[in-house]
């Protein structure tokens, strides 16, 4: 089913993304020292130990635009709409990646503005959930539009939150794109299928340089823009096809949304600002657990990609379920609730085990005082 979409546009997206990433890696190391983002090493949420350019998202965007140009004029205006609408969000993220700080509220405003453009010019939004009483509320267009705009902006921000390990955000985006591709093919929506396959190919080209060694990062431009495109593909699939449940679309994007939900809950409990970064995301827990048990902080360059590899099956499972249950709203809703419960349970158990090991000094001589997991809280 998927092999039918390995066409010129997909190949172009992969090659362009990989080529641009390669050029950016070489250039930033040789002459564009400002773009190496040395200051990022001191960020509380940082999980890398060497200065690294955050320009992978620019490469992905260039690759997707190139593939779109190769496919025009045969492609419908939907592809053009999504790319043009994403420009405000892409530019805000790219400015941050290029060393021109943009406040979180500025990036949020850009995400909302980009979503409003899709609604305004595409006249599309979430119209149903498969749950009768919820659908009564969504029948009122103003409310449905607000829900759609906020949902897309939320997904975009969620992908940015998980961009903390080599290959993590890129792999989550790739898996999500494949899940949406499978659903699009199942309902014979070739337009969204092509968009999903091109985006997956572009992200794969980026991953060649991002995983496992982290030669270049997704950056805000990549995480926000790719998350935005995936969110609207999910909304469009559910909006165009009455038998596609939005619960399945949430399953396809489960990992970043679960991480965002946990972050909101965690910061509420700690009375911290919602935009305040911390080192307590699920991927930080996995990384620190691997360092405590096996690698130590000195070998973070190894623990970092290993943590991503450990998490990949956990990221893929909900996305696969979303594809398989795309036309079964009840089952998809129950499965979604189960995955959320499992996610929170595993996180809480992992935190308690990690804290217990730190308190008892079972770090094999690698206790880290104020920079350890306990102090990170």
Measure the CA–CA gap between 194 and 332, rounded to whole angstroms: 25
Measure the CA–CA gap between 13 and 272, rounded to whole angstroms: 41
The first and second tokens of residue 190, run together, are 């070739």
Question: Which tens digits make up the pLDDT trace of 328-341?
Answer: 999 999 999 999 99
Annotated binding-site positions:
160, 220
Annotated binding-site positions for Mg(2+):
160, 220
- Mean pLDDT of all residues in 238-257: 95
Question: Which tens digits make up the pLDDT trace of 15-47?
Answer: 777 787 777 776 666 555 555 444 444 444 444
Q: What is the dihedral of CA 173, 176, 178, 181, to 10 degrees?
A: -120
Listed by start position, the domains of the chain span 2-376
Residue 22: strand, helix, or coil: helix
In angstroms, how far apart are the furthest CA atoms of the chain? 65
**Alpha-carbon distances, residue 278 vs 45, 162, 164, 362 (angstroms):** 5, 12, 11, 24
Question: Which tens digits make up the pLDDT trace of 348-372?
Answer: 998 888 777 767 764 444 444 334 4
Measure the CA–CA gap between 240 and 208, rounded to whole angstroms: 34
The first and second tokens of residue 367, run together, are 């206790």
**Which of 195, 229, 251 has its CA nearest to residue 68?**
195
Vertex 173: Cα angle to 71 and 153 (nearest 5)? 90
Question: Which tens digits make up the pLDDT trace of 302-318?
Answer: 899 999 999 999 999 99
Q: What percent of the chain has pLDDT over 70?
A: 84
Instruction: Find where tokens 């993220």 sit.
Output: 93
Question: Which tens digits make up the pLDDT trace of 174-196?
Answer: 999 999 999 999 999 998 998 99
The first and second tokens of residue 53, run together, are 């350019």
Vertex 169: Cα angle to 166 and 172 (nearest 5)? 120
**Which of 17, 70, 344 has its CA nearest to residue 209?**
17
The distance of Cα 278 from the centroid of its chain, to the nearest Å, equals 18
């Amino acid at each position: 089913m998927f092999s039918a979409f390995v066409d010129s546009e997909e190949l172009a997206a992969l090659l362009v993304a990989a080529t641009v990433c390669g050029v950016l890696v070489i250039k930033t190391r040789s002459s564009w020292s400002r773009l190496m983002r040395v200051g990022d090493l001191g960020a509380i949420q940082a999980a890398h130990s060497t200065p690294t350019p955050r320009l992978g998202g620019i490469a992905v965007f260039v690759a997707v635009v190139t593939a779109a140009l190769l496919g025009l004029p045969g492609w419908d205006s939907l592809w053009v709409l999504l790319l043009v609408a994403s420009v405000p969000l892409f530019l805000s993220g790219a400015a941050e990646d290029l060393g021109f700080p943009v406040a979180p509220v500025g990036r949020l405003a850009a995400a909302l503005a980009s979503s409003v453009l899709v609604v305004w010019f595409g006249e599309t939004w979430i119209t149903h959930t498969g749950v009768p009483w919820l659908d009564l509320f969504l029948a009122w267009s103003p409310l449905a539009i607000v829900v759609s705009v906020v949902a897309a902006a939320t997904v975009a921000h969620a992908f940015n939150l998980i961009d903390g390990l080599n290959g993590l955000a890129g792999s989550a985006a790739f898996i999500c794109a494949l899940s949406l591709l499978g659903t699009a093919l199942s309902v014979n929506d070739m337009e969204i299928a092509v968009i999903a396959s091109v985006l997956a190919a572009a992200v794969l080209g980026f991953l060649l340089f991002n995983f496992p060694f982290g030669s270049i990062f997704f950056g805000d431009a990549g995480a926000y823009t790719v998350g935005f495109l995936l969110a609207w593909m999910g909304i469009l699939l559910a909006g165009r096809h009455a038998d596609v449940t939005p619960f399945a679309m949430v399953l396809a994007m489960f990992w970043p949304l679960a991480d965002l939900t946990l972050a909101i809950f965690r910061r509420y409990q700690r009375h911290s600002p919602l935009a305040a970064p911390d080192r307590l995301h699920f991927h930080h827990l996995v990384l620190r657990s691997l360092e405590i048990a096996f690698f130590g902080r000195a070998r973070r360059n190894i623990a970092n990609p290993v943590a991503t590899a450990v998490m990949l099956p956990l990221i893929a499972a909900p996305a696969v379920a979303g594809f398989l249950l795309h036309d079964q709203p009840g089952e998809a809703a129950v499965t979604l609730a189960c995955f959320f419960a499992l996610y929170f349970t595993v996180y809480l158990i992992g935190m308690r085990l990690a804290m217990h090991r730190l308190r008892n000094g079972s770090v094999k001589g690698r206790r880290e005082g104020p920079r350890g997991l306990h102090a990170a809280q």
